[in-house]
Structure 1
């Protein structure tokens, strides 16, 4: 089952590379991608898919295709193109770190370390957070974190492992602790975002940017939390991170709909046409795979996580994958970007494609993605 899904994914990835040489996918409505320059937060996912494809089948086409983009990502760093945000890890863990890990490239390692330094510039010591968006004096975002940032922290943990510079570790650890304290609610649900007073660091309130409302639980945010805290545990062995990931996962599983692929927010009224977010389910599958590496066989939660993983992946492969659309550029139907903002509420999401493929190759061959060194 996984083999056939992977084979279809690799055919579509190859088609995209051949059809759109030298450019990168952007989200646009209409069940397609818009291909253009490296100037958003999402381009790393496409390169990460190439590295997964190469590791899976050892076809040099994918390796050479991925390597050809390194200069592009290096140039983006040097010119600081659209990098006033925290998503540096999404961009460079899946491009430069991945290339270094697979090939040992010293140039890729240097690019990745430069990217980690750019991410460090977003550290706000007076608050104890990595600022999500905008410049430090931004009146709206100057004191804001969002749960997505947990998947950017592996770049800093990796940089610490390579350099032994304690600042990388300390910043990532402190941000993860702040995320745990302020973004995770008592019932295991999560806020998308949290605001602090940028002058004195005082906590103000939780809220949302892409969820249904401030008190609701945006499903993709919950997915970032599951995977992100599990990865934070891998790097730190701080037991509360593992327990937090488990709590978030239990909440996600308990609120899955009958067809096992979630809607875009757990609290949105469900009616005909309510958008799904297949990308949230794909991210969660990867998070469950990571969690299962750390949960003992005798742990009472293990069976439930294994069953939910199987149900999720079968649902994605059988009902949401584009295996019935040979010309499709995306791998998963019914992803949502920013429903609240009416931006691509039901389309292909390149991060959904990446995490879907990551989960498939991890299930099939134990290939674990590029959030840490093997």
Structure 2
């Protein structure tokens, strides 16, 4: 069932973070009970279904389920969560035994091994993370100044060097590695990638392209296009969410004012164009709004990003505004309309994966759950007066 149209965020009952965290833990226990094989990772529950569909370690989303388990261990530091998080995390290591074929190593390894190392300081996790960062760096083109996102698209689409907005999230792995025993060049690559993306991936109004195409030899920006959005000139919700999250993180890591400015501009246009219930349609320019599918994953990503952004902007009025906006989005996501509750073991309903491809429409998705849980944990820390 799709969410009702025109539901006011103001009408959404206030929610307690602790209750939502307990809900996530209870739902995750259902998934754990159904998933004994560490090589099978829950990715999606299709519309109208109530069971996870699984992927293997090579899937770009493979890090989100172990990452979710690490976040639950952070909230409830018990042997149960640690054992499950370790098992699903360690399953991913063989991904690094072959040549890097796309940019998703940050999604895969920083969500899993990154959270695991942060919480346990296991030196074996650190070595895997450093190895993953070095693998990701092999896709960096110094003439362009960005990481190649999809090598397969070079021939398939005639894109000599393509960089997708999603790739901003993978930069966190490079920043971390450069500060934890890796090469200084990894930091420089991350800053370069973010700077070039800021220069070419955005339109004057602050909305973003999904894909930027460059000449691989001269570095010249050729065009901005979409792949998962409605049109080349539309604002694909999750792409804009990756921009908000990615540039917020890049400012945290580098303190480059340009990145804070880009994060704020990206966030402001996203917030300004949200529907009344604060959860975006899959594309802000979809022609069939208000019947278009929503994307709860984009709302979860942005809610988490805005909570961090609220701690970084110097203007306290703006900071409070970003936090209030995140809380509104989380309140809606925590309502009966968006939580899976008794329908399935997922946390959230109503996400959209790849609408133009006809896949994962109005579905539950593992990364929506991951960022929803991350946002709840961040809000809890802020309420407790703790740093993120």
Shared fold by TM > 0.5? yes
The 3 A distance-change label for structure 1 pair 352 and 320 is farther
Aligned to 2:190: 172
Q: Which stretches of structure 1, 4 residues or longer, exceed 6 Å deviation after superposition?
A: none
In structure 2, the CA distance between the partners of 1:43 and 1:171, relative to structure 1 (3 Å rule), is same
Does 1:18 pair with 2:37? no
User: What's the counterpart of residue 240 of structure 1?
Assistant: 258
SS at match of 2:264: helix
2:222 is aligned to 204
Going from structure 1 to structure 2, the CA distance change for 1:124 and 1:279 (only over 3 Å counts) comes to same
Give deviations 1:216-262, integer Å, cap 9, x for gaps: 01011111111100100011000110111011111011000011110
Task: State the 1:208 CA deviation.
Answer: 0.6
CA distance 1:165–1:39, shift in 2 (3 Å): closer
What's the secondary structure of 2:228's corresponding residue? coil
The equivalences for 1:1-374 within 5 A come to 1-21=16-36, 22=38, 23-27=40-44, 29-30=46-47, 31=49, 32-80=51-99, 83-134=100-151, 138=155, 140=157, 141-163=159-181, 165-271=183-289, 273-296=291-314, 298-322=315-339, 325-326=341-342, 328-365=344-381
Cα distance change, pair 115–253 in 1 and its aligned pair in 2 (3 A): same
Distance 1:365 1:46 in 2: 22
- Given that residues 306 and 322 in structure 2 are in contact (C-alpha distance below 8 angstroms), is that contact kept between their aligned partners in structure 1? yes
Report if aligned partners of 2:45, 2:365 keep a CA contact under 8 Å in 1.
no
How big is the alpha-carbon RMSD for the aligned residues of Structure 1 and Structure 2?
A: 2.1
**Whole-angstrom distance in 2 between the partners of 1:299 and 1:239:** 17
CA distance in 1, matches of 2:62, 2:53: 12
Give the gaps of 5 or more residues in structure 2.
1-15
1:172 match: secondary structure = helix
Deviations 1:165-211 (A, max 9, x none): 21100111100001101112221111111111123221111111000
Number of corresponding residues? 366
Deviation, structure 1 residue 60: 1.7
Instruction: Give how far 1:121 is off.
Output: 0.8
CA distance 1:43–1:149, shift in 2 (3 Å): same
SS at match of 1:127: coil
Which residues of structure 1 form unaligned runs of 5+?
A: 368-372
